[in-house]
Amino acid sequence: MKHFFLLVILSVSILVSCKKANNVVEDDTPPPVDQRDKFVGTWEGRFYLEIPNIPPNSPLENLPDSVPTTLTITKSATSIAEIQIVVNNSITGNRTTKAFVNGNRYFYEPFNAKFLNIVDVSFRGDGLLSTDGSSIFEEGFLKTSAVNIPPLGPFPGINLPALIGVWSSKLKKKL
């Protein structure tokens, strides 16, 4: 019986000495990186617009080619790939839209705005972060709706066909 107890004590001692301290499993996998973090912040720059074939005397005839613009980007709570973007400039107005991040690029969900409170415009596009993370270049397409407002008194009316154009933005991160 003495030998049995000695054998049990010896076996337990061997098992305890071979067991890893604190049951810690070593894992050298780095924690996941949230790809959206590099986009979060305020970005300032210019919004550029090119719409060919604007008819003379239309409300879009004097639309500027570029205006100052500001983007404010935050992380969305609904998806680990989604960001919220508040676009603010005199062409699109103050619009909140969303985009989806993939690496150093984000893709806008199509969004709508109104030019001069008359013409509906649909925007599509994407943004690309510079390798040093200090600037974003965006580009995309836009399509205006057709507008036909008949003349009324001294107002000559508006007859504007649907138009397709391109847009872009060059932005720097505000520190």
Question: Is 23 a member of any domain?
Answer: no
Question: Is 84 a member of any domain?
Answer: yes
Question: Is 11 a member of any domain?
Answer: no
Question: Is 56 a member of any domain?
Answer: yes
Question: Is 19 a member of any domain?
Answer: no
For the cut 90, the answer to whether the pLDDT of residue 33 exceeds it is no
For the cut 70, the answer to whether the pLDDT of residue 3 exceeds it is no
Question: Is 42 a member of any domain?
Answer: yes
Question: Is 122 a member of any domain?
Answer: yes
Whole-number average pLDDT of the chain:
85
Predicted pLDDT of residue 135? 97
Task: For residue 102, name the pLDDT band (cuts at 50, 70, 90).
Answer: very high
The answer to whether 125 and 132 have CB atoms below 8 angstroms apart is: no
User: How many domains does the chain fold into?
Assistant: 1
Question: Which residues in 27-162 belong to E strands, given as ranges?
Answer: 41-50, 66-75, 82-89, 93-102, 105-108, 111-115, 119-129, 135-144, 147-149, 158-160
For the cut 60, the answer to whether the pLDDT of residue 137 exceeds it is yes
pTM for the model: 0.76
Question: Is 8 a member of any domain?
Answer: no
Which residue do the tokens 């599509």 mark? 124
Residue 59 is part of which domain span? Answer: 35-150+158-173
Task: For residue 74, name the pLDDT band (cuts at 50, 70, 90).
Answer: very high
Please report, for the domain that includes residue 102, its CATH number.
2.40.128
Question: Would you give the end-to-end CA distance of the chain in angstroms?
Answer: 78
* Residue 169 CA, distance from chain mean position: 13
